[in-house]
């Protein structure tokens, strides 16, 4: 539970001024579907829209991953902010000043200090390039062909080869030892307890978020004998490894619907320098789902441009698999004339690199090429194996793609096109059966998830009571007057699940104090994951009778069930399970 106390009146003001549709639509392409809006969920990978916005209740719910809440919860999730930070962000959007006191903003203040320290560190590293201590760093960038304006544009710098140069500098600016260690700019020695710089003798690449804040650093070795090629900022309150993307703050404003993904920062910088300002890079680590989701928000097509070596090819294969689940189009570049984009651009120039980009393979072509490279098609055995593998690739393609690529492959390998098409249809039939099996498992998972809730682990032991509790909560949220009429007939202590008891107690407090019962009034007491359950209950009000009689029936069920032993859904027979499912999903 969060220990903050932003005045409820202020939260209500934000709720009245901010439209969840406006906020969400800046991150998700929404389409009207009756009284709701739908789009691809920004919080998990999907190709079929399951993310739903409810303008009537100013809430959202994803039927795929279960993410739910109001506009504050959305801001918390999308920008990885804590509650107070999200409220401040919402206040900025609404043009409303935050209250001067009355809430705990210590976490927000710490994050501001860390971002400020990072900004000062970036200035320090950049200034070091132009001193005797930083000569090695400047020579590195010059030798890599970077002009002064590029160094300035990306805020590049150098961490001097000294024990605590940055630490002393930032301490002199008033930053505490705790702040610098928390920001991972400094570390404490286990040997003598002294504090030293995290980055030393490295060229520095600041990582800047979409709001222009320096959130982390990536430091590349200058001395090639150094065991670690890159040292990156560890997790901090303002940065999570696997989330940051280098140069996305520039690429998102390039005006292109395409983003080029490079393997390293120097490749992305070189592309920007030669006019390809839609280039980004991961931080010397493998692509993560979080990075892919973030990049996919700003592009309709991703061009993967990794190094032309074995490691780069393996990373490409993994990246294709990750981006497949985001719904964006994928192209893969085969670099010709150099080991990476930086080398090709500086050796052959912009025009050759542009030709390489234009000749990049789409996802189907890439997968066919990968399969072809596995076999020797000069032999009959290799040819047969490749054709079977190609059929598996084409099985999931559109009819047009099947026709085009099967004809091309058949002609190239001298086989009958119809025979290949028959092989493709057989593979497609197997794929359909596999999908049906997966869908069947998904349905089973969905049925069990209707009982299970990690926020309310007691739910599946007390199914009937929990459902009645949730119906009562949803009814009171929609009709607070019902509570006023029934408050003498029950007590929150009658509730059998502790989580629902927390919700009803908070809800009663809101009603008795005369506040709104909107979802926005629950964020201060429930964290972003817990809000998934609170929002799901609130949204369910739309399918209820919402009558006083229904509430009375729920109270009767709660009292009757509170004295009965629980029944674990996982231990039920199939018939008992389906019976319980129907009963509990019909308000019983």
List domains and CATH numbers for the chain.
8-94 (3.90.580.10), 106-232 (3.90.980.10), 248-359 (3.40.1360.10), 369-438 (no CATH), 459-584 (1.10.860.10)
Q: In angstroms, how far apart are the furthest CA atoms of the chain? A: 85
Q: How far is CA 278 from CA 214, 269, 336, 587, in A?
A: 20, 10, 21, 52
The H helix count followed by the E strand count for the chain is 25, 16
Q: Please state the φ and ψ torsions of residue 32, each to the nearest 5 degrees.
A: -65, 140
Element (H, E) at 403: helix 399-413
Q: In this structure, are residues 360 and 333 in contact, taking their beta carbons and an 8 Å threshold?
A: yes
pLDDT of residue 300: 87
Mean pLDDT over residues 49-54, rounded?
91
CA distance 21 to 32: 11
In eight-state DSSP terms, residue 91 is H
Per-residue H/E/C for 212-244: CCEEEEEEEECCCCCCCCEEECCCECCECCCCC
Mean pLDDT over residues 357-377, rounded?
87
Q: How confident is the model at residue 271 (pLDDT cuts 50, 70, 90)?
A: very high
Picking from 262, 361, 252, the residue whose alpha carbon sits closest to that of residue 300 is 252
User: pTM to 2 decimals?
Assistant: 0.69
pLDDT of residue 101: 66
**Residue 35, burial from CB neighbour count under 10 angstroms (0-12, 13-18, 19+):** exposed
Picking from 108, 74, 131, the residue whose alpha carbon sits closest to that of residue 238 is 108
Average pLDDT, the chain: 87
Q: How far is CA 247 from CA 53, 154, 277, 452, 477, in A?
A: 31, 8, 9, 41, 44
Helix 530-539 to helix 498-512 angle, to the nearest 10 degrees?
Answer: 70
Percent of the chain with pLDDT over 70: 91
Q: Please state the φ and ψ torsions of residue 182, each to the nearest 5 degrees.
A: -65, -35
pLDDT of residue 568: 52
pLDDT of residue 449: 53
């Amino acid at each position: 539970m969060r220990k903050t106390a932003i005045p409820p009146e202020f939260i209500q003001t934000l709720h009245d001024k901010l439209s969840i549709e406006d906020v969400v639509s800046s991150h998700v392409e929404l389409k009207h579907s009756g009284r709701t809006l739908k789009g691809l969920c920004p919080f998990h990978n999907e190709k079929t829209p399951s993310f739903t916005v409810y303008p009537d209740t100013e809430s959202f719910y994803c039927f795929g991953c279960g993410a739910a809440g109001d506009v504050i919860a959305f801001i918390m999730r999308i920008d990885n902010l804590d509650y107070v930070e999200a409220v401040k962000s919402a206040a900025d959007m609404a043009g409303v000043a935050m209250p001067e006191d009355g809430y705990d903003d210590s976490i927000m203040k710490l994050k501001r200090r860390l971002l400020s320290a990072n900004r000062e560190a970036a200035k320090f590293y950049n200034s070091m390039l132009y001193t005797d201590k930083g000569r090695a760093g400047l020579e590195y960038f010059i030798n890599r062909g970077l002009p002064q304006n590029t160094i300035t544009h990306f805020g590049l710098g150098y961490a001097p080869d000294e024990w605590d140069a940055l630490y002393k500098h930032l301490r002199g600016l008033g930053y505490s030892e705790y702040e610098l260690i928390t920001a991972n700019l400094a570390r404490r020695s286990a040997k003598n307890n002294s504090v030293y710089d995290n980055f030393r003798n490295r060229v520095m690449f600041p990582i800047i978020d979409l709001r222009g804040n320096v959130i982390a650093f990536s430091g590349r070795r200058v001395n090639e004998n150094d065991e670690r090629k890159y040292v990156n900022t560890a997790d901090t309150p303002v940065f999570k490894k696997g989330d940051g993307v280098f140069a996305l703050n520039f690429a998102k404003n390039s005006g292109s619907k395409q983003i080029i993904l490079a393997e390293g920062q120097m490749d992305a910088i070189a592309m920007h320098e030669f006019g390809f300002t839609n280039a980004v890079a991961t931080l010397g680590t493998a692509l993560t789902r979080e990075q892919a989701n973030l990049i996919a928000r700003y592009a309709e097509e991703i061009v993967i441009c990794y190094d032309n070596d074995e490691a780069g090819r393996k990373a490409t294969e993994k990246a294709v698999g990750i981006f497949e689940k985001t719904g964006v189009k994928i192209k893969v570049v085969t670099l010709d004339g150099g080991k990476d984009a930086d080398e090709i651009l500086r050796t052959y120039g912009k025009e050759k690199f542009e030709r390489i980009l234009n000749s990049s393979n789409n996802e189907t072509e890439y997968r066919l090429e990968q399969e072809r490279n596995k076999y020797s098609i000069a032999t009959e055995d290799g040819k047969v194996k490749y054709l079977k593998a190609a059929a598996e690739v084409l099985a999931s393609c559109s009819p047009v793609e099947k026709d085009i690529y099967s004809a091309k492959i058949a002609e190239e390998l001298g086989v009958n096109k119809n025979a290949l098409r028959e092989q493709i249809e057989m593979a497609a039939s197997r794929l359909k059966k596999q999908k049906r099996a997966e869908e069947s498992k998904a349905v089973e998972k969905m049925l069990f998830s209707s009982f299970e809730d990690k926020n309310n682990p007691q739910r599946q032991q007390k199914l009937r009571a929990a459902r009645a509790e949730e119906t009562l909560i949803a009814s009171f949220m929609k009709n607070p007057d019902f509570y006023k009429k029934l408050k003498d007939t029950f007590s929150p202590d009658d509730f059998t699940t502790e989580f629902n008891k927390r919700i009803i107690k908070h809800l009663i407090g809101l009603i008795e104090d005369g506040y709104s019962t909107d979802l926005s009034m629950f964020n201060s007491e429930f964290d972003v994951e817990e809000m998934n359950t609170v929002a799901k209950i609130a949204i369910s009000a739309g399918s209820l009778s919402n009558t006083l009689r229904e509430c009375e029936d729920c109270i009767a069920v709660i009292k009757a069930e509170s004295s009965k032993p629980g029944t674990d859904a996982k231990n039920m027979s199939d018939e008992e399970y389906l019976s319980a499912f129907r009963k509990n999903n019909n308000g019983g």
